[in-house]
Amino acid sequence: SRQWISGEAHAAKIIFIAIKLNGVQRGLISEIISQFQCKGFKLVVIKIVVPSKDFPKKHYHDLKERPFFNGLCDFLSSGPIVAMVWEGEGVIKYGRKLIRATDPKKSKPGTIRGYLAIVLIILFPCKNIIHGSDRPETAKDEINLWFKPRELVSYSSNAEKWIYGVN
């Protein structure tokens, strides 16, 4: 069947964003969505999910040697997560800037982690609220991990001419 991510040009324009359960519990879903939506990015796919026990291990497979890995994975399978795909020009670069440093203490005010979180403690479950893919290849892998093909929809937005259009 046809791939939902249609090629490199498309892959460069999409990011997987997850609001971790502490963001959900604190009522920050709409605030985080607003940050991306008000910029002009398009929310293409969204669902709320409680990951199975082993699922976060797949998502964070590159961190398996780190001391906080098991705690992080247990934490992320212990409650609801909002999984999303956002689309737009430069969405990965901008999204990572908007999310900012892994440690909220090092994140400037006005960034999501700077604005909405205070700390990250080395061996305790993460309090940094949000995940965002760091490059097109990871975005692609993460989207394919978190969503079944039938969950991946596409639509064109009438706002695009007001965001990108030259006239």
Q: Please report, for residues 34, 99, 112, 114, 117, the alpha-carbon distance to residue 109 in angstroms, rounded to integers and kept in the order given.
A: 16, 11, 8, 5, 10
Cα 149 to Cα 122: distance, rounded to the nearest angstrom: 36
Shortest Å distance, C-beta 132 to ligand GDP: 7
- Residue 113 marked in a binding site: yes
Cα 4 to Cα 139: distance, rounded to the nearest angstrom: 13
For the question of residue 61 being annotated catalytic, the response is no
Shortest Å distance, C-beta 115 to ligand GDP: 15
Cα 34 to Cα 146: distance, rounded to the nearest angstrom: 22
Could you tell me if 117 and 127 are in contact, meaning their C-beta atoms sit under 8 angstroms apart? yes
Q: Give the nearest residue (CB) to ligand GDP.
A: 126
Interface with ligand GDP by CB under 6 A: which residues? 63, 68, 72, 102, 120-124, 126, 128, 131, 134
Query: Would you say 120 or 143 has its CB closer to ligand GDP?
Result: 120
Could you tell me if 64 and 57 are in contact, meaning their C-beta atoms sit under 8 angstroms apart? yes
Shortest Å distance, C-beta 70 to ligand GDP: 11
Query: Would you say 38 or 123 has its CB closer to ligand GDP?
Result: 123
Query: Would you say 124 or 164 has its CB closer to ligand GDP?
Result: 124
**Catalytic residues, which ones?**
131
Instruction: List binding-site positions for ATP.
Output: 20, 68, 96, 102, 113, 128
